């Protein structure tokens, strides 16, 4: 199964980190969050990646073009580029990474459609390049296969950002609840789509309000309910939270 990683957004709410690089390249423990997502997928055998880039795409291109130098010691005789020798190896040696520029302002669904030329004839995975989760990809695949639908989205029940009060009809406070779980479900990415689903896409559509909504209306969209860890990286505070978790050895998404 190939995986499309959406890595083209501006990351405006993380401006402290994204002024000079795209959000998927913001580091967690010295590695881009994009790398962490790929490592989690590779654990389940997904090692063929298509990175759909946009904002500051050259940063992503440079990272993967020079991946060996980023991850290994090396020796080079200056003036003789053919003398380059890398020392050691890494676990990503069997990864295949296609980096495709999909436009500065293209919406998420349009990015998927643009890189569809690099897919094969089987189902494929689509996820966002800025969210981490301890997804059981085997269970997600099984849910998708059982559904016999064109697509499956992974969803979670988020918690409220705030504590809430339960208030009686007479105005008295019954109790406080600290950041309770909300009733609704949100799409966190980690979507599996059949090739036929691409018929719902258009050149510059938004993934959720365009093809996914149309598939849901047609009864062709399944949901996989994830009850484990999920954390997006939308703000500097969330970036700090993820880095602290990695530094202290409490990173639930590190399943490899």
pLDDT of residue 161: 66
165 and 80 Cβ atoms separated by less than 8 Å: no
DSSP, residue by residue, 10-27: --GGGHHHHSSS-GGG-E
The SS3 of residue 36 is: helix
H/E stretch holding 60 reads helix 57-65
Cα 205 to Cα 65, 70, 113, 173, 211: the distances in Å are 30, 35, 9, 46, 8
Q: Has residue 148 been placed in a domain? A: yes
- Number of domains the chain contains: 1
Q: Which domain holds residue 223?
A: 2-153+187-247
Query: Tokens 């639908």 appear where?
Result: 149
pTM of the model: 0.89
85 and 52 Cβ atoms separated by less than 8 Å: no
Q: Has residue 83 been placed in a domain? A: yes
Question: What's the CATH number where 222 sits?
Answer: 3.90.550.10
Query: What pLDDT digit, counting tens, does each position of 205-251 carry?
Result: 999 999 999 999 999 999 999 999 999 999 999 999 999 999 999 99
Q: Has residue 159 been placed in a domain? A: no
Q: Has residue 169 been placed in a domain? A: no
Q: Has residue 179 been placed in a domain? A: no
Query: Tokens 């569809």 appear where?
Result: 116
Q: Has residue 175 been placed in a domain? A: no
Pairing assessment for the beta strands 230-232 and 131-133 based on DSSP bridges: antiparallel
Cα 248 to Cα 38, 55, 143, 233, 241: the distances in Å are 21, 32, 34, 18, 11
In whole angstroms, give the CA distance from residue 9 to residue 64. 19
Q: Has residue 164 been placed in a domain? A: no
Q: Has residue 141 been placed in a domain? A: yes
CA-nearest of 174, 156, 154 to 164 is 174
Query: What pLDDT digit, counting tens, does each position of 170-213 carry?
Result: 877 787 777 666 678 999 999 999 999 999 999 999 999 999 99
Pairing assessment for the beta strands 191-193 and 151-156 based on DSSP bridges: antiparallel
pLDDT of residue 171: 78
Query: What pLDDT digit, counting tens, does each position of 136-149 carry?
Result: 999 999 999 999 99
Quote the tokens at residue 168.
Answer: 């009686």
């Amino acid at each position: 199964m190939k995986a499309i990683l959406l890595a083209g957004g501006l990351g405006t709410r993380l401006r402290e980190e994204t002024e000079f690089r795209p959000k998927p390249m913001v580091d967690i423990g010295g590695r881009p969050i994009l790398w962490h997502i790929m490592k989690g997928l590779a654990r389940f055998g997904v090692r063929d990646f298509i990175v759909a880039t946009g904002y500051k795409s050259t940063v992503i291109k440079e990272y993967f073009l020079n991946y060996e130098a980023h991850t290994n010691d090396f020796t080079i005789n200056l003036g003789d580029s053919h003398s380059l020798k890398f020392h050691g190896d890494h676990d990503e040696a069997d990864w295949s990474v296609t980096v495709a520029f999909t436009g500065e302002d293209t919406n998420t669904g349009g990015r998927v459609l643009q890189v569809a030329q690099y897919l094969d004839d089987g189902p494929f995975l689509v996820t966002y390049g800025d969210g981490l989760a301890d997804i059981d990809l085997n269970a997600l695949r099984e849910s998708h296969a059982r559904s016999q639908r064109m697509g499956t989205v992974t969803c979670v029940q988020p918690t409220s950002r705030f504590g809430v009060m339960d208030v009686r009809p007479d105005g008295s406070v019954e109790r406080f609840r600290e950041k309770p779980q909300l009733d609704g479900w949100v799409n966190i990415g980690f979507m599996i789509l059949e090739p036929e689903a691409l018929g719902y896409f258009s050149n510059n559509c938004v993934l959720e309000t365009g093809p996914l909504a149309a598939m849901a209306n047609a009864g062709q969209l399944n949901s996989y309910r994830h009850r484990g860890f999920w954390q997006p990286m939308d703000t500097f505070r969330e970036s700090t939270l993820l880095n602290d978790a990695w530094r202290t050895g409490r990173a639930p998404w590190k399943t490899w």
